[in-house]
Amino acid sequence: MRSPCVGVTLLLLCCGVGLCDNAVKPPDFSDAITKNDWVAEVQIAQVPEDVAPAHMPDLGENLALGRPYTMSRPPTYSLCRDPDDDVQLTDGVYTEGKFWTQQGTVGWKGVGPRYGLYISVDLGQDCAIKGLSFNTAAGNADVHWPARILIFVSEDGESWSEVGDLVALSSLHDELPQYGEYAVRRLWTDQLETHGRYLQLCIEPGGRFGYTFVDEIEVYRGDDAWVGKPYEGELIADVPRHMELQMTNELIKEQFMRDLEAVKADIADADNNVRATVLAQLTKQAEALAKAVDEMPLISMEGFRAVLPMTDLERDIFMLQAAVWRAQNKPLLRVWSKHRWDPLAPSEEPEADAAPPVVEVHMMNNEYRAGVFNLTNAADEVQQLRLRISGLPGGDNPEYVKVHQVLTVGTRHFTAVSAALPEVELKAGRYTIQVPSGMTRQVWLSFHPDNLEAGTHAGTVEMSGGETNIEVPVRLRIYPFRFPDETTLLVGGWSYTNSETVYGVTPENRLAFIKHLQEHYVNAPWATAEVLGYGKYDEAGAMVEEPDTIPFDEWRALWPDAKMYMVFMNLRHYGSSIEATEMGSELFDVKVGNWAHFWAEHMRDLGLDPGQLGLLIFDEPRNQEQYDIITAWAKAIEAAEPDLVTWEDPTPYMESGSRGLRARREPVKWEEMFASVDVLCPNRGHFLAET
């Protein structure tokens, strides 16, 4: 992502992403570029210094002039950010010159309604409102017109009514220019016919980088007879929460439409053996389902699970998929194989010439391995299959084999994934697997033998249900070795377990999650910075108030046998100084040294070696400033307590944080930082690309 810039722009077209050569500040390409991007073309384009806004009619009295407003997030775009941002949107002053470099403009980057971009204006009293305007600019430098600006009004600031989308209403009389043409526009409408003391705008930026710029918001007085009229539709108590619900429902709709598109594709590809009348009926059903998806009401998130099928409507879509399969004379149940790590679509089918499934696993005792097979259901209802594992050492359903049914879940990345692995409970000697109509469900067998004889053991997965009786062969090869109870390899990841509410960890699942990690040889757990407080210091840098050790001790107690305790200090978020002391100064070194000494001594008090405490100072550093922060901290830590382990995962030459960007800025001086830390975990692909 880059900063919008002034004057002549050098466009380096990297898979459609422009780079600004003469921006006032370094660009920010965070998460935008992949390792497969490259410079394809260079163009010079003249950016006009000033473009007059389009004319709009006089809409009368501006109720918002001089009125206070609140912004859910402080402005983040530095080229126009200034102390007056909290008054400039209603001061009646319009900016001149390039829009997003003027102090009179208020701007954000990378912020959308999911993260809370809401502007609420207090008109002082309940007023009749016929319209409003929102003065903005876009058209180049990756700044796009807003996708939506939803308008909400309220009498009391507690109950809100949605009255329209300003972008859509404005387009009725003035279409916005296409991207590529820089322009200033006042998005406006005079068609609201509503009232309220408060007016709240929910702004959804357009484009992939989420820029939003505005210098003035006006609200126009309507007919006083509108004041006090009941609002139409259901009132909304919490607009941001309502918008989050709407966006979640949009993701759900997208998933439903993808499910339906797969069905339509099957209908279109149906062979000549399917009668035209049957195809016509299936097509009609698909059209009816598409209409139902388009008109579906909001789904409440209370008790909602994103497991496909998520609702009765999605269940109907998959049942139509099953009807298509039956029309093609495909078996009601197909059992087939696919590699356990390969993606599996919700209604994926086996190839016509697929070989019969076999679960084949090669392993040592005390190791974890898995084998899978897939079940595809063309029946018009859920198929319940009862499984028994026989023939292997240990008798039926041996304890060293666990059965999981792989659930397909919807994600915020617009892709359904078959990844959840809930364990199936053994009841009356059988495991019960449910396969929804029109879907494919994977069965995952996890093996963890302890003392099996070396050699190949043959068994069978027996499945029955209704008229179904199927057997899947199992071949378990045990090598004459044993996986160690403890590994010399340090195993861990950013699965923070010191908190009850982070990355899906909850009070209900934390202990089970930790137990699962420990059973699978994780011995270098991670914690967030909250476990390593700084304490307080006097003017000479001596520690006068010790950090609270309880958070660390409670986390450590959950991992009594860990070999390393890894902590993410997250200085990107918490700042690079300690008690506002200038980084790199002598006082800074003294304070950091005393902090390091305190925690090293605390490790010793716990009967641990200081070398068992690992510190990630700054995650994925990619510019000189970040490298310098790491160097300053690592040197101060090393000087005080050399046994503490500093750990870093650097990326190269990426002044703005790009991933895989080929167009270089000034390369960072990395040698000193590399030499100052104990463990380096570089992004190998990035470094190889730069050599």
Cα–Cα distances (Å) from 308 to 74, 305, 419, 420, in that order, read 38, 9, 12, 11
Q: Is 514 exposed, middle or buried (0-12, 13-18, 19+ CB in 10 A)?
A: middle
pTM of the model: 0.74
What mean pLDDT comes out for the span 668-684? Answer: 88
| Contact criterion met (CB below 8 Å) for 338 and 349 | no
In angstroms, rounded to a whole number, what is the distance separating the alpha carbons of residues 386 and 404? 13
What pLDDT, in 10s, does the model give residues 84-118?
A: 999 999 999 999 999 999 999 999 987 755 666 99
Per-residue pLDDT for 39 more than 60? no
On average, the pLDDT of the chain sits at: 88
> What is the phi/psi pair of residue 50, to 5°?
-150, 135
Per-residue pLDDT at 478: 98
**Residues contacting 19, CB < 8 A, separation 6+:** 2, 10, 11, 12, 27, 29, 663
What pLDDT, in 10s, does the model give residues 535-585?
A: 999 999 999 999 999 999 999 999 999 999 999 999 988 888 898 899 989
* Per-residue pLDDT band at 690 (split at 50, 70, 90): low
| Contact criterion met (CB below 8 Å) for 259 and 347 | yes
In angstroms, rounded to a whole number, what is the distance separating the alpha carbons of residues 551 and 532? 8
Ranking 268-282, 451-465, 505-519 by mean pLDDT, the lowest is 268-282
How many residues does the structure list for the chain? 691
| Contact criterion met (CB below 8 Å) for 604 and 550 | no
Three-state secondary-structure class, residue 179: coil
Ranking 106-120, 160-174, 669-683 by mean pLDDT, the lowest is 106-120
Per-residue pLDDT for 683 more than 50? yes
What pLDDT, in 10s, does the model give residues 170-209?
A: 999 989 999 998 999 999 999 999 999 999 999 999 887 8
